[in-house]
Structure 1
Amino acid sequence: MRTVVVTDPPRADAEQVDALAAHGVATVHEAMGRTGYLGPGIRPVHLGSRVGGTAVTVLSWPGDNLMIHVAVEQCRPGDVLVVTTTSPSTDGMFGELFATALQHRGVRGLVINAGVRDVAELHAMGFPVWSAAVSAQGTVKATPGSVNVPVSIAGELIRPGDAILADDDGVVCVPREDVPAVLAAAEARAAKEEATRAAFRRGELGLDRYGLRDRLPGLGIEYVKYGEDGS
């Protein structure tokens, strides 16, 4: 495996990333045609955070956090650090000291396809983390990897500078060149959802609003009065 540190990759527009984050992971995922989601295995360590930022990617050896140390130097304000390993790992590769260094650099959060620790401290300092595991298991600092190269989590490609959006529903990645189009699609979806919300508040049923009622007979669904089916 070639080990490199790529400096100053292009990044998605910060204002557009912030606007995307405001719509939330689920809306953006749907607006993208149900792509970009990093899967149910990446969960928030604490609920209640919503962030958007540009990816600084890290490819590390399992149980070895050397390249996270290397990556900190490459982070800028508005970034989200995205870490994965060359094979599955649940070791606690990241904790409160890393978060302190990243907060100083204006990093908005961490997405890691491995483990984290110091959970109480991370919560107290308000540093959002999405991870595959929580583990006190320590790591070493010995094996080279890469920073700011394309990585994959749950089959989704993440490149340096791509938009990373994370909230209580999980994490979604938007390719940096697609951010303007996805933002427009998310805004349109949000407007449509608001119209539907208003309709539901008036009492309209989803069966009618979505045109589902007429489809039921074709699916073999029958309405019968209580007792007529032998119950």
Structure 2
Amino acid sequence: MTGIIVTDIARADQSTIDALAVHGVATVHEAMGRIGLVGPTVHPIQNGARVAGSAVTVLCWPGDNLMIHAAVEQCQAGDILVVASNSPSLDGSFGELFATALKYRGVRGIVTTAGVRDVVDLRAMDFPAWASAQNAQGTVKATSGSVNVPIVVGGAVIRPGDIVVADDDGVVCVPRADAETTLLASEARVAKEAGARAAYQNGDLSLDRNDLRGLLADLGIRYVTQGKWADGDR
């Protein structure tokens, strides 16, 4: 396997990235039309972290973290390191020493299809990680891979410079070209939900606010009393 390291990736405007972080994974995912989710195979090792950053992507060989070493040099403040292997591997290819080097450079976290270790240390140093496993199994540094090429992470294709948003709900990828439109759609969704929240706090029902009673009727759903149900009116 031969590889490549791309050194000059384009990134989205940082203020747009930061605003998407505030909205979080669920809102951004819905605002994009329910696309872009990595999915449940990658999950947070901590609680309460919500970040967004430009993706620096890494393609590794299973059980080998050589290209993560190479990727650190390509990272800058505001980035998120995103790692995948060319076939499944849950080895603990990332730990506290990598996190120390990345935190110095202003990197906001890591998303990996492999495993992380030194989990207590990662939590203590407030370096968030989303991974497929927590696994002490070590790795080698022997095989070439690539940095800043398109990779597949769960159900999403992530390209270098795309925006990765990550929180307790998981990870979503926003294509760099769609950053501004996604932010506008996210803001509109937040405003709509604020109106719904106020209505529900006032006692309104979602059935009525979303005009769903007609749909229930169209689907043949009936209301019956408990007594009639017990008598066999089904």
- TM-score when normalising by structure 2: 0.97
> Which position in structure 2 is the counterpart of 1:176?
176
> Which position in structure 2 is the counterpart of 1:209?
209
CA distance in 1, matches of 2:229, 2:129: 52
1:12 partner SS: coil
CA distance in 2, matches of 1:88, 1:222: 48
Q: Identify which range, 211-220 or 73-82, moves more after superposition.
A: 211-220
CA distance in 2, matches of 1:199, 1:143: 58
CA displacement, residues 167-221 of structure 1 (integer Å, 9 cap, x when unaligned): 0000000000100000000000000000000000000001001111121122121
CA displacement, residues 129-188 of structure 1 (integer Å, 9 cap, x when unaligned): 000111010000000100001111123111111101000000000000100000000000
Unpaired stretches in structure 1, ≥5 consecutive residues: none
> Which position in structure 1 is the counterpart of 2:120?
120
AA in 2 matched with 1:70: A
CA distance in 1, matches of 2:230, 2:116: 56
CA distance in 2, matches of 1:26, 1:131: 18
> Which position in structure 2 is the counterpart of 1:195?
195
> Which position in structure 2 is the counterpart of 1:57?
57
CA distance in 1, matches of 2:228, 2:93: 62
Q: Which runs of 4 or more aligned residues in structure 1 lie more than 2 Å from their structure 2 counterparts after TM superposition?
A: none
CA displacement, residues 8-45 of structure 1 (integer Å, 9 cap, x when unaligned): 11011111010011001000000000001001111001
1:152 partner SS: strand
Shift of 1:2: 3.9
Unpaired stretches in structure 2, ≥5 consecutive residues: none
1:177 partner SS: helix
CA-based RMSD of the aligned residues comes to: 0.8
- Contact 2:60 2:145 (8 Å CA) reproduced: yes
> Which position in structure 2 is the counterpart of 1:186?
186
CA distance in 2, matches of 1:89, 1:24: 28
2:124 partner SS: helix
AA in 2 matched with 1:192: K
- Contact 2:2 2:144 (8 Å CA) reproduced: no
- The aligned runs of 1:100-119 (5 Å cut-off) are 100-119=100-119
Q: Identify which range, 119-128 or 149-158, moves more after superposition.
A: 149-158
Q: Percent identity?
A: 63
CA distance in 2, matches of 1:131, 1:13: 26
Shift of 1:51: 0.4
